[in-house]
Structure 1
Amino acid sequence: MWMYLGLLAALFLGLHNLCKKHAVKGNEVFPVLLGTITAGFLLLTPLYIGSKYSPDTLKDINLYINDISWQNHGFIFIKSLIMASSWILAYQALKHLPITIVTPIRSAGPFFTFLGAILIYNEQPNGFQWVGFFLIILSVLLYSRIGKKEGIDFKSNKWIFAIIGATFLGASSGLYDKFLIQKISLTPQTLQFWFCWYTTIILCIIVAITWLPYKEKRQAFTFRWSMPAVGILLQTADYFYFKALQDPEAMIMLLSAIKRSQIVIAVVIGGILFKEKNKRKKLIPLAGIIIGVFLILYSK
């Protein structure tokens, strides 16, 4: 069951990535980020209010937000710092790079998670899973060669390093999620609500320093429908992902790989919508990534 929940998370993440590309086009990254995370927070706020005033109803539908200790608040705040850093790097890269380059590089995230799952959680991959992960990495390298034809030099382009950093931080957060969900038993909605709360605070501080004081930046900002859509789709994807992680049999390295099937939406549909170059050539490494994910999913 947890694998199917992972596929649902991938579906909403793919749609989230398309909206994200639309939201950042021509806009400052930080206010866009703040708008998206605020939309997610507003989506979850009724659950928090309902948990205070009608707890039995929320418990009956498994959406009750639990009271947590200050220590657990600290754990969630750490996750907020990690993901805020990852998103800032990823949004900046997405603003300056084609989505058909950014998304496949982020697909290397399962490789970092894979190593962490072995070292931290002692998850044991088999031979086909090893082949699947290395196939994903080789496919991403092939994307780098295609990217050069679009004027993107992977060795000197700072936005490439930004998306690689975002990928590493995102993978670290994925490993941390297993600790939060399985080790200290946070429910998905409890984790999501407080994560959005702390991330909103962090981004408010950043926006107040880097954007609000500058009139020209404020005037250049354009609100788009895709901004709240990004936040809503992300929280929906995260809910299914965290529900999958609640299963004691769920393996974070496999879930991480399953989530990368979102690239089918991002590369195929995104390439058409945003009219990006070399779409046919990108189908080759895309196929490699899909085969890698397939080997991981069905290697048992």
Structure 2
Amino acid sequence: MWLLLAFLSAALLGFYDVFKKQSLKDNAVIPVLFLNTLFSSLIFLPFIVLSVWRPGILENSIFYVPVAGWEVHRYVVLKSVIVLSSWMLGYFGMKNLPITIVGPINATRPVMVLVGALVVFGERLNFYQWIGVLMAVFSFFMLSRSGKKEGIDFKHNKWIYYVVMAAVLGAVSGLYDKYLMAPADQGGIGLDRMIVQSWYNIYQLFMMGGILILLWWPKRKSTTPFHWHWCIILISIFLSAADFVYFYALSLDGAMISIVSMVRRGSVLVSFIFGAMVFREKNLKSKVVDLVLVLIGMIFLYLGSQ
């Protein structure tokens, strides 16, 4: 069951990337990101309110949000900072790079999670996992060669660094999720998944509100103008659904976060197909090779996690 949910989350994430790319086309990044946090917060706000004022309605459901104090919320605030930082970098990168470049880079996150687990949690990689890591590194090198054909120099293009840093922070967020969700006897703190997902959206909304008012609004006339696009709402809907399914999958017995994280990166298939068919991006043949290398690396990571 949890594996099927992981595949569903991957598909939803793929469409999230597509709608994000469409929303950012010739558009201001900060307002789009602010609206994403706003609509995501509005999706979960009813669950928070009902859980407080009418707890009997949701108490035994998967939508119930337990009441918690600052000793819990401080961890959620930190997650909000990590995720929002990743989003800020990722949104700017997505706006300025082809989705067929961004997708494969993001697909290397499971490798970063494994390396992070190696460093932070003292985990050891087996033979298959090392092959997966090396395949991911090699695919990144090949992707840089593909990028040069489109005038994108990985060494000197700041948007590439933005996307890479977004992926790194995304991996940090994944490791942090493991810490937040795991029970105390497994080294975690055992937070409720709905507390995390509901409230980190709320905190991000306030953070983005400050950024919007202090950084973007005073300079809005001298930067890329903002224009409304209905895909902005779809960003929030598909992201919220993908994360909800992801957290729910992790809450099921036997769920393995390493496998769930790897399967979720399969979202690159959806974004890559749309990049080819809808956005008409270039140099697809060499990028397909890069994508295949990433997917083969993910297969080896999966085999190594068995």
TM-score of the aligned structures, taking structure 2 as reference length = 0.92
Q: How many correspondences in the alignment?
A: 300
- Give ranges in structure 2 of 5+ residues lacking alignment: 183-187
**Partner of 1:50: helix, strand, or coil?**
helix
- 1:202-246, CA deviations, whole angstroms, 9 ceiling, x for partnerless residues? 100000012223452699211111111111111111112112222
Match of 1:284 in 2: 289
Stretch deviating more after TM superposition (111-120 or 228-237): 111-120
Q: Which amino acid aligns with 2:61?
A: I
Report what 2:265 is aligned to.
Answer: 260
Q: Deviations over 1:68-119 (max 9, x none)?
A: 1202111111111111111111111111111111111112211111012233
The reply on whether 1:233 has 2:238 as its aligned counterpart is yes
Q: Render the CA deviation track for 1:181-206: whole Å, top value 9, x for unaligned.
A: 12222222221111001101110000
How far the C-alpha of 1:122 sits from its partner, in A, is 4.6
| Paired position in structure 2 for 1:161 | 161
Distance between the aligned counterparts of 1:32 and 1:58, measured in 2? 31
The Cα shift of 1:249 comes to 4.1
| In structure 1, distance between residues paired with 2:291 and 2:23 | 24
1:188 is aligned, of 189, 193, 202, to 193
Which amino acid in structure 1 is aligned with residue 144 of structure 2?
S
Tell me if the contact between 1:14 and 1:262 (Cα under 8 Å) persists in the aligned partners: yes
- Pairing 1:1-300 to 2, within 5 Å after superposition: 1-182=1-182, 183-214=188-219, 216=221, 220-247=225-252, 249-299=254-304, 300=306
Kept in 2, the 8 Å contact 1:123–1:251? The answer is no
Stretch of structure 1 that moved more, 113-122 or 13-22 = 113-122
Q: TM-score, normalised by structure 1?
A: 0.94
Q: Which moved more, 1:216-225 or 1:135-144?
A: 216-225
RMSD of aligned C-alpha atoms? 1.9
8 Å CA contact 1:103–1:267 kept in 2: the answer is: yes
Q: 1:215 and 1:297 mapped to 2: Cα distance? A: 46
Q: Which runs of 5+ in 1 are unaligned?
A: none
Counterpart-to-counterpart distance in 2, 1:71 and 1:84 = 21
Taking the aligned partners of 1:161 and 1:51, their CA distance within structure 2 comes to 41
Mapped partners of 1:215, 1:225: distance in 2: 21
Q: C-alpha distance in 2, partners of 1:217/1:248? A: 52
Contact 1:85 1:169 in 2 (8 A): yes
CA distance in 2, matches of 1:194, 1:54: 18
Amino acid of the structure 2 residue aligned with 1:211: W
